[in-house]
């Protein structure tokens, strides 16, 4: 029997806090381990710099991640600070989350949404939206509690998308 694993992706915002409640409840109900992950804004191995050994993650950054505690207890947790592969491009949190999810064979990814629309969504993009489009596993998006209800099926705060058999859709 394979151990079940859920991935909760956080950006430390209020939207993430709302999603954490749902992720913890789901992990508890499924008897799954909840991996709480954040993609660092820093490169662990910056391009063009020679290093004798792989640097360690910042203690401060790791401590910030480990302060996130699932509400209600009773959930097995792991913490994972993710770093981008060294490239000349910008850090892509979506790619790092998908790479980790694939490697760990997670059951689903749980992520909060910011509820942006219009120009702000176009300008800032949406990690949640890109995860839904590109992940190879189900992605559960949780809207902020204060967001207006959606014009879609479900309760308006939680949306689930099943990955297609071909992977990307």
Residue 169 lies in a domain: no
User: Across-strand partners of 36?
Assistant: 8, 79
- pTM of this structure: 0.75
Residue 64 lies in a domain: yes
Confidence of residue 21 (pLDDT cuts 50, 70, 90): very high
* Calpha distance 114→126 (Å, rounded): 8
Residue 147 lies in a domain: yes
Beta-carbon-side half-sphere exposure of residue 79 (alpha carbons within 13 Å):
13
Beta-carbon-side half-sphere exposure of residue 82 (alpha carbons within 13 Å):
26
pLDDT score of 150 = 47
* Calpha distance 70→88 (Å, rounded): 36
The tens digit of pLDDT for each residue in 107-146 reads 999 999 876 665 555 544 588 889 999 999 999 999 887 5
Residue-number span of the structural domain to which 45 is assigned: 5-161
What phi, psi does 75 have (nearest 5°)?
A: -125, 125
| Between residues 59 and 6, the one the model is more confident about | 6
**Structural domains counted in the chain:** 1
Confidence of residue 149 (pLDDT cuts 50, 70, 90): very low
Q: Between the ranges 55-64, 145-154, 155-164, where is the mean pLDDT highest?
A: 55-64
User: What is the distance, to the nearest Å, from the Cα of residue 147 to the centroid of all Cα atoms in its chain?
Assistant: 20
> For residue 38, what is the domain's CATH number?
3.40.50.620
């Amino acid at each position: 029997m394979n151990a079940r694993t859920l991935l909760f992706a956080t950006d430390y915002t209020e939207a993430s806090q709302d999603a954490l409640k749902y992720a913890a409840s789901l992990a508890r109900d499924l008897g799954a381990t909840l991996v709480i992950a954040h993609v660092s804004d820093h490169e662990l191995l910056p391009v063009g710099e020679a290093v004798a050994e792989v640097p360690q993650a910042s203690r401060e950054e790791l401590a910030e991640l480990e302060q996130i505690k699932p509400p209600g207890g009773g959930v097995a947790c792991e913490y994972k600070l993710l770093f981008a592969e060294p490239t000349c491009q910008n850090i892509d949190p979506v790619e790092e989350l998908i790479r980790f999810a694939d490697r760990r064979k997670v059951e689903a990814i749980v992520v909060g949404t910011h509820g942006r629309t219009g120009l702000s969504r176009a300008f800032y993009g949406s990690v949640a939206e890109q995860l839904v489009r590109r992940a190879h596993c189900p992605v559960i998006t949780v809207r902020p509690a204060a967001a207006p209800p959606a014009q879609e099926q479900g309760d308006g705060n939680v949306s689930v998308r099943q990955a297609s058999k071909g992977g990307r859709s």
